Structure 1
Amino acid sequence: MAEVAKAVAVVDLALKACTAYDRPDAAARLTAAKRALADPVLHVVVAGEFKQGKSSLVNALVGANICTVDDDVATAVPTYVRHGAKPEAALLYEPGRRESIPVADVRRHVLENGAPSREKPSGVEIRIPRKILAGGMVLVDTPGVGGLGSPHAVASLSAISMADAVIFVTGAAQELTRSEVDFLQRARSLCPVVVCVITKTDFYPAWRRIRDLNEQHLATHCPVPLIPVSSALRSRAVKANDTALNTESGFTDLVRFLTDRIGRSAADRLVAEAMAECAELCDQLGNRFQAEKAALADPEAAARVVRELTGVKDRVEALKSAAAKWNLTLGDGVTDLTSDIDHDLRGRVRVVIAEADAAIEEADPADTWLEMEAWLQARMADELLANYELLRQRAGELSQRVGDHFHEASTMLMRRPPVADPTPLAAVTDFEHKIDLQRMRLPKQAMVALKSAYGGALMFIILGSLVGVQLGPIGVGIGLVMGHRGLREEKKRQVQKRRAEARNAIRRYCDEVSFVANKDSRDTLRRVQRQLRDHYSGLAEELNRSNAQALVSASDAAKRTQADRERRLKDVDAELERVRQMRKRILAVTG
């Protein structure tokens, strides 16, 4: 893009200024900004119910069969499709480990019933040479196992929170369901750019009616763009190089949306951040030369300028200390936030346990345990995501407060860094219970009934003989009644035992998930604290270096002769003009 090229040219000019004015600290930030402009990464998450055509959509977008499509099983791990010089694939493991595999073997690792491996990968990365991916776009085909009410959906939402855009896929077989609308609303709150895509329009003749119904649902509950497409038509159009068929497939509108909304917004964001770095350098250089100019133009005012710069030096030194307001705000804020997040998680887990206990009391775990396991995993994953959303929101607010306090103390507007990615908070482990859910088998029931009947009959026969009454057949009847009663009591006792074991298993599971989530949240907040601390400490160091250079220049100006001051004044005016020209170029890029 033209804006990116202009921004790179301005950053190059700023880097030359860093070299000329001995500012390696600012050069490091500008180099990072230039690197981001040269190699942007734009994550586009493809999400939706399972068997709705997510993998087919990704294949049609890139014009290659790289994501596995199967009618019987669903995608089990996320697939990352990005640009590469040649087709290649790799398995991704935590933390940051990769294992190269042949592209033909991707299917074995992606599908739900694929071949087992020694260790389950966290994802699969596929690189292919495609124009649509050359700008840094990464298509993420999310797992579809279990639908939108499963832990996989929560993992998708976690990925969405750090994505640049979301493509939500729904089929043309029926209108949007309540769960799909809820998922869309949550996705829109986590990611600014969301588009809803109706797939399989070539398979369902009534897709236009479904489109109209979905437009009504979206207008009421979640206003996002709606684009109907056909992956089959797109694939045939790519093979035949048929422009008309490609337009009919609907993918022209989708590609235009991705290019205009996602690519442009990401480029604008990177350009704005790079220009903000350049503007900061201009401010610091301008302040330095303005102070020197004031000292050169009025020798009597030189002492005052030096005093002012000395006072600024003291304030900047205070910014670097542990007692600085922004540093205290950061430390206290992280402590409070850690306590609040932990309390919120504990409260959510208590609610889940209470709901599980109520469900267990209403039925026999031997009949409902499989459904209980799936419900509990999905429920805990949903609560973890809500807890993560709270952490993300509060961490952003803390970053804002710290930045405001730093701005108040430094009298400079500083760019605030984003918070760290707390994605692990949304991961839930498998539910491994160790409880006996087997009902009594028929032989055991017979033994329990016989034992109760024998004991009851024997007791009444002995009592009858003590009082001189022969019960005869009546004793047998009494034994049968006692046996039936004993069997009923034993069944009731075993149901209570299974319920107690189920409750204990649920508590153990919730404790394990809470233990892991609590550790992840604390680690995330420590990363946030270190990130903010290092960011603003670095800015304070830059201010200190810039002020020190200005103080040295002003002090030297006070010692110069009249002739030296006049010659240096011309040089300073020239330097200020260069700074002004750089600022004009920054404004030309940012508009």
Structure 2
Amino acid sequence: MMTVAPETAGNDAVARAAALVDLGLRACEAYGRPDLAARLESVQSGLADPAVHVVVVGEFKKGKSSLVNALVGANACPVDDDVATAVPTYVRHGEQASAELIVEGSPPRRETVALEELHSRVIERDPAGAASGADEELALAGAEVRLPRTLLSSGLVLVDTPGVGGLGSAHAAASLAAASMASALVFVTDASQELTRSELDFLHKAREMCGTVACVLTKIDFYPHWRRIRDLDAEHLREHADVPCIPVSSRLRSAAAEAGDSQLNTESGYPALVSFLTEHVGASAAHRVAADAAADVAAVCTQLEAQFEAERAALADPAEARRVVSELTAVKERIANLKSTAAKWNQTLSDGITDLNSDVEHDLRRRIRTVIAEADDVIEESDPADTWTEMETWLRSRVSHELLANYTLLRDRATALGEEVGEHFREASCDVLDRIAVPDPELQLAGARVEHKIELQKMKVGKQAMVALKSAYSGAIMFVMLGTLTGVTLGPIALGIGLVMGGKGLRDEKKRQRANRQKQAQNAVRRYCDEVSFVMGKDSKDTLRTIQRQLRDHYTALAEELDRSNAQALQRASDATSHTQDERDRRLADIDAELGRLRQLRERAMEVVG
């Protein structure tokens, strides 16, 4: 018996779903239901371009870009020992090889560039975040490369990200944000050593954000002991993240492609990675998209069937016509209540958004207060003149991770609210929330700056000398005058006393200036956190308002569909009472034929739903 490859089965499911949507659109047009047709047209556009995002993350210089290049067989991402990726690069399918820069804006602007030129525009000179190779005047949000590759033809999008730089870095927060909306995450580490604690912590958090995660062990051709490292990593992954570990060599993959050597390609480990991407990621995503589309077709068929069944019941037994009309009239009243603001689902939505708004705001304030307290402790133990540069970097990264956690709370609670509203609407549906993203905190905070206003310059040698001399002179004069008043001549002793007083004065002045810098640093942290709270507080409120509108519009539109279906059924049932027996017989035959076609379409759709 021949076995069908999972990726082929996934593509077939999408094709079957697309054919079912086409038939559903024809039925909506034939039965005069443009509202249901609009619903299926939205589904159709989603099937036409099913993007499956796979985010590739890892520490700096672990081989992420080489991995992506080896997968697609092209130099899509820059690879160099002296540079690092500065912005995400999206590699997707295209009929011709092309590249575009994505410039920040609302909406983002795209600039076409040559593929060879792209490399110099999306790099930074060192992992610490030195000047980017991109044009200074362009604030790049990312880059997109299109390539005619079979691996990408099913909608697979590989996202090469900047190095994580540790769990506490801003890049790590951005990577986790991207993972929350991705179909899968590939974490890249090399065979030089076993997974570090920070890598395992990142993987654990990534596993919470994204359901499908794999760990790829690179550079196995460079390290002879890679099998030992693979076994250690596999053990760690079973204990902490429960994800597969796939060893690969990009150099062996490239050599195999040049020589056309299938055995060498197998040794490179890439067939296992390709299998993971196509079977476990692409195929499952395709089946999910196809099932959702088929479910919508089945729901449309159910509504169309309902109006015909009511008419059929009235035609088949004229004595039952009055009862059918009475029942449909009662349904009309229930639907009218469903559309009102007093409906339970509407009240649940309104109350839920209010509660969620309060909880998210409280959570944000609590997190910001924790950051401020930690910053105060660090500042009190150090001199901002020595540590402020590192302090700024830490502050931005720390705030980014707290905002990521805050947005994750918002997303999870909003999803739960959508399910509760769906239950109250008597149709569990939360698909409108699939578009709620966990945004990259760094992009959200692009306008917030840590304006320290701190006197970071310590006293220079000349200034220290002047302070010491001033204190010494004042001390010496004071003791000389005291000796004169008491009739005691101090002589050279006054000079020693002056030196002691000068040293003490210098130490006191240094202490005073350090305390002043610490106070200024703490104020700078508070100003920055206040700005963050102001910006993100408004953004979370805007997000919740958008969620409320989407859910309200989604369920209101569904109520309108039900209302129209019931109105047509009521009209047809009412008209049936005036038909003659011959007219009833002819119309019954027509209805049975229509119901047969609709039931057949619904059953085919349910087969795809599975």
Q: CA deviation at 1:151?
A: 0.2
Match of 1:92 among 102, 106, 128: 102
Name the CA shift for 1:232/1:216 in 2 (closer, same or farther; >3 Å). Answer: same
Match of 1:508 among 517, 527, 547: 527
Match of 2:28 among 18, 26, 30: 18
Q: CA deviation at 1:414?
A: 4.5
Matched, 1:32 2:47: no
Q: CA deviation at 1:227?
A: 0.5
Alignment match, 2:78 = 68
Q: CA deviation at 1:53?
A: 0.3
Alignment match, 1:480 = 499
Name the CA shift for 1:422/1:362 in 2 (closer, same or farther; >3 Å). Answer: same
CA RMSD of the aligned region, Å?
A: 1.5
SS state at 1:197 partner:
strand
In structure 1, stretches of 5+ residues that fail to align are: none
Q: CA deviation at 1:348?
A: 0.5
Q: CA deviation at 1:367?
A: 2.5
Q: CA deviation at 1:373?
A: 2.1
SS state at 2:55 partner:
strand
Matched, 1:406 2:418: no
Q: CA deviation at 1:418?
A: 2.1
Does structure 2 retain, via aligned residues, the 8 Å contact 1:296–1:565? yes
Q: CA deviation at 1:419?
A: 4.5
TM-score (norm 1): 0.96
Partners of 2:437 and 2:363 lie apart in 1 by 16
Alignment match, 1:215 = 234
Partners of 1:110 and 1:184 lie apart in 2 by 26
Partners of 1:52 and 1:138 lie apart in 2 by 20
Alignment match, 1:82 = 92
Matched, 1:370 2:370: no
Partners of 1:414 and 1:492 lie apart in 2 by 63
1:291-306 mapped onto 2 (5 Å cutoff)? 291-306=310-325
Match of 1:573 among 581, 586, 592: 592
Partners of 1:551 and 1:441 lie apart in 2 by 91
Partners of 1:212 and 1:551 lie apart in 2 by 68
TM-score (norm 2): 0.93
Name the CA shift for 1:77/1:303 in 2 (closer, same or farther; >3 Å). Answer: same
Q: Deviations over 1:539-584 (max 9, x none)?
A: 1111111111101100101121222222212222222211221122
Q: Deviations over 1:513-558 (max 9, x none)?
A: 2222222211211221121111111111111111111011001011
Name the CA shift for 1:234/1:279 in 2 (closer, same or farther; >3 Å). Answer: same
SS state at 1:418 partner:
helix
Q: CA deviation at 1:383?
A: 0.8
- Give the paired residue count: 587
Alignment match, 1:131 = 150
Alignment match, 1:238 = 257
1:340-351 mapped onto 2 (5 Å cutoff)? 340-351=359-370
Matched, 1:111 2:123: yes
Name the CA shift for 1:59/1:148 in 2 (closer, same or farther; >3 Å). Answer: farther
Partners of 1:186 and 1:507 lie apart in 2 by 28
Matched, 1:192 2:174: no
Question: Which moved further from structure 2: 92-101 or 386-395?
Answer: 92-101
Does structure 2 retain, via aligned residues, the 8 Å contact 1:75–1:145? no
Q: CA deviation at 1:143?
A: 0.8
Partners of 1:431 and 1:497 lie apart in 2 by 18
1:555-570 mapped onto 2 (5 Å cutoff)? 555-570=574-589
SS state at 2:432 partner:
coil
Does structure 1 retain, via aligned residues, the 8 Å contact 2:72–2:151? yes
Q: Deviations over 1:425-460 (max 9, x none)?
A: 622446443312222111111100111111111122
Matched, 1:277 2:296: yes
Name the CA shift for 1:197/1:167 in 2 (closer, same or farther; >3 Å). Answer: same
Does structure 2 retain, via aligned residues, the 8 Å contact 1:37–1:271? yes
Matched, 1:461 2:480: yes
In structure 2, stretches of 5+ residues that fail to align are: 1-10, 126-132
Partners of 2:164 and 2:594 lie apart in 1 by 63
Does structure 2 retain, via aligned residues, the 8 Å contact 1:234–1:246? yes
Alignment match, 1:359 = 378
SS state at 1:174 partner:
coil
Q: CA deviation at 1:115?
A: 4.2
Q: CA deviation at 1:300?
A: 2.1
Matched, 1:390 2:409: yes
Q: Which amino acid aligns with 2:597?
A: R
Name the CA shift for 1:257/1:425 in 2 (closer, same or farther; >3 Å). Answer: closer
